[in-house]
Structure 1
Amino acid sequence: MAPPHTTGPTTALLADALVKTYRSGRRTPPVRALDGLSFEAEPGTVFGLLGPNGAGKSTTVKVLSTLTRPDAGRAVVAGVDVLRHPEKVRRAIGLVAQRPVSDPMHTGRENLVLAARLQGMSGRDARARADELLDRFGLVDAGARLAKTYSGGMARKLDVAMGLVHRPRVLFLDEPTTGLDPEARAQMWAELEAVTRAELTTVLLTTHYLEEADRLARRLAIVDRGRVVAHGTPDELKDDLRGDAVVVQVGRETGDPSAVAAALRTLERVPDLRDVTSSGRTVRARADRGGAALPHVLAALDQAGIQVAAASVARPSLDDVYLRHTGRTLDEEVAA
């Protein structure tokens, strides 16, 4: 169910029944990237759009940032109707796309000063703002270096700083940590948490990293096939899944489809288990008391002659939420 759609001082972003279809030719069927997508975000918060590639996240950003027009629906950004006043929206937003936007042949500081000047700032103010952002993102020592010498994590920090240079009311971050190693990703998360507090900016974060959405977003929406299939705070979405997740890996790394199918049938007969599903060599189920259910699970699989490589019990995760609402895991879709 989509959230209610109202605009006012408590709404920084509004997407109301957005529809967008791409047509590539007469012989190719049209692709509906957005199919009635709706959500809203509060000012000064991080709102996450979670979903695999092709779910509609990037198209949503393009509509809200005036880069493309929807076929139907309504969009409001920072209190401004996107279709009626796109020029006002552009002045109120910052956009950090998936691809780098900095000039590799300019220094980090030069990139920031140029971005500020393009936003209409004076030379003095542009230089002061550049120095402020270099300090905030831990890039002071690298400010005089060419951007082409930056590591992946440093380059993404510079991109985000350029998106913030004019103090936008809304910042769009489209997959900001894709391609970064775990250490650089964790550093970026810390920087984003600090900068949203300091800048009082509303952030629309698109990502397919579950941990990223869980950590950064106050509220989020899970998008699948152009629709919002679940929305709320990360804790609300996880708490909505009653009980624990019981996860069992069957057989060896190469996997055995017959063993997985047998394990699925076996666990469907174990009392107190529900929502039994499989993905690859992994079988998942839910139980009110996972710790008490796990010995019965292992005993049933052993009696059926099914080899177990690993088994665990955990509180619900966002991956469990995604599985519940889409019938598949997000990690599996991203890897496909």
Structure 2
Amino acid sequence: MFIDSALRVLAIEQQAIENLTQYVDESFEQACKLMLSCKGKVIVCGMGKSGHIGNKISATLASTGTPAFFMHPAEANHGDLGMLTEQDILLAISNSGDTAELLALIPVVKRLGVPIIAMTSNAKSTLGQYADINLCIKVEKEACSLGLAPTSSTTATLVMGDALAVALLDERGFTSEDFALSHPGGSLGKKLLLSLHDIMVKGDCLPLVAPEQTLRQALVEISKKALGMTGIVNTNGQLLGIFTDGDLRRVLDNKIDVHQTTIQAIMTSNSITASPDMLAAEVLQLMQKHKINSLFVTDANNKPIGAINMQILLQAGII
């Protein structure tokens, strides 16, 4: 019973979205052009369920390069309308097109000369007629079995809002880096903005040994610095190679004398390194590609200035 109801809802709402394609027409293009040329902000307004959807649409617009915020129509009628300026655009959402709280704003909005983009199911409604552009969000029926609760209609509205936001994003040439700038606190922002310089181990915490030191001495350095590796550097501080925990398991199988064998004799030369200005996400991809758990960060002279491993990337929220 529950599953049957759920599948019926999904089918109705899926059909509502498919039917929406016929309304992505010249009016949609005009709305996009108007919003793209807006010198102020897109003020999204809606009452009830339309208001909840409008709130999400305004957030999506704002995070994808179109300055926008939500204005509650009831509060707007009691002072908040002062946030609307002549350079703004009003995106008014009402399925019926006759929401009283929205219609009460029209005289002031028209007096300011603010363009109105309406999202209604009826272009001949009061809001549809007063709007400069009407985007149709009409659905055949609500997914609610009573035909009362806004369901497929709110889904259609949300999808139309997403279509506007993404169309504008594409036209602006908005990049993932631009998106991350408005999401610095989230995992996406961390992945896109954190460079190695921000999170790498550096200074005295770097595990480094000379090439003539023994494997035993190298193991002491690895244990002390706890990065699962050590770098081997020459007298000029340049990286000659690397020795890791994985290398240790391999050499022990060959019964290497840890007290007599120099680290230079068993190190891995031409090891994978990174530059400090690389994004942490890039380095994660590099490490996964080469199936390594740690690497050194070097400068232009191949001198180790930092180190990174999977644990550090995990703690930074990159993984």
- Report the TM-score, using the length of structure 1 for normalisation: 0.25
Larger radius of gyration: 2
Structure number with higher relative contact order (C-alpha < 8 Å, ≥ 6 residues apart): 1
Larger fraction in strand:
1
Larger fraction in helix:
2
